[in-house]
């Protein structure tokens, strides 16, 4: 869980960021306020190069409905929402009113609040009821509590549009998947095995950020 891609030196990370779409003032302010107010939780924010990658994926998939499970202070949601096609919407799920207050302010400042809906509460309880079978999910980004990943995965896979994509964050668990000694790392390692063995989907674990697994249904 890192604000830069795992394994990159600071110098190489600066080079990567310099050769990607830049953060604007909204994104930079989210990152700055998160570091100031929650220094012990700042690693929950995705890396800037990962944000740019998510935006590109969003542009390629062009979802009418995107879903984010685990919004934190809004950094990733701004990248995704800005890349939505005309008329596209993003539904965000998070349990924290404090963290998402920062996100709400950023959405308003970026002119995105009309295309984002926030659902507060435990996403294992709020996700399925908020999604309609008549409105398939084109793109989903999972970045919340790790033991619940299988629940989010199954809920979203069942509602994924043809050609849809699920992106799952932290699937390297800061390299702890190699020898899981804590609950989160063990949950991620088990999830990785589950997805790799799932014959319903094609998946690729990419070493971007703290590991980003991309999942699409077969056929």
One DSSP character per residue, 6-32 reads TT--HHHHHHHHHTSPPP-HHHHHHHH
Residue by residue, DSSP assigns 39-55 as: TTTGGGSPPHHHHHHHH
pLDDT of residue 1: 44
Domains located in the chain, CATH noted? 10-217 (3.40.50.150)
On whether the CB atoms of residues 124 and 95 are closer than 8 A, the answer is no
**34 C-beta neighbours (distance < 10 Å), count:** 22
E strands along 63-136, which residues? 65-69, 89-94, 116-120
Can you tell me the distance from the alpha carbon of 95 to that of 58, in angstroms, rounded to the nearest whole number?
Answer: 24
The angle that helices 25-37 and 48-61 make with each other, rounded to 10 degrees, is: 130
pLDDT of residue 43: 87
Q: Both tokens of residue 123? A: 């996403």
Can you tell me the distance from the alpha carbon of 165 to that of 203, in angstroms, rounded to the nearest whole number?
Answer: 10
Q: Which residues of the chain have pLDDT under 50?
A: 1
First to last CA, the chain: 32
Can you tell me the distance from the alpha carbon of 149 to that of 188, in angstroms, rounded to the nearest whole number?
Answer: 8
Residue closest to 171 by CA, chosen among 157, 186, 189: 189
Q: What is the dihedral of CA 86, 211, 4, 75, to 10 degrees?
A: 30
pLDDT of residue 2: 56
Secondary structure class of 215 (helix, strand, coil): strand
Can you tell me the distance from the alpha carbon of 174 to that of 187, in angstroms, rounded to the nearest whole number?
Answer: 13
pLDDT of residue 5: 74
Residue closest to 44 by CA, chosen among 29, 27, 31: 31
């Amino acid at each position: 869980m890192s604000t830069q891609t795992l394994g990159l030196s600071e110098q190489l990370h600066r080079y990567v960021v310099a050769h990607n779409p830049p953060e604007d003032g909204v994104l930079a302010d989210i990152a700055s306020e998160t570091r100031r107010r929650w220094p012990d939780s700042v690693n929950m924010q995705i890396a800037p190069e990962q944000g740019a990658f998510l935006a590109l994926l969003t542009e390629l998939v062009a979802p009418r409905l995107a879903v984010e499970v685990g919004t934190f202070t809004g950094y990733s949601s701004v990248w995704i929402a800005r890349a939505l096609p005309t008329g596209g919407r993003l539904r965000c799920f998070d349990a924290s009113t404090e963290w998402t207050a920062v996100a709400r302010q950023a959405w308003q400042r970026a002119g995105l609040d009309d295309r984002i809906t926030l659902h507060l509460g435990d996403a294992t309880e709020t996700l399925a009821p908020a999604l309609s079978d008549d409105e398939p999910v084109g793109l989903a980004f999972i970045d919340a509590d790790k033991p619940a990943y299988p629940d989010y995965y199954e809920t979203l896979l069942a509602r994924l549009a043809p050609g849809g994509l699920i992106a799952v964050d932290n699937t390297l668990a800061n390299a702890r998947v190699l020898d899981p000694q804590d609950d989160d790392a063990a949950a991620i390692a088990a999830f990785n095995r589950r997805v790799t063995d799932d014959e319903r989907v094609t998946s690729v674990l990419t070493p971007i950020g703290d590991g980003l697994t991309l999942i699409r249904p077969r056929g």
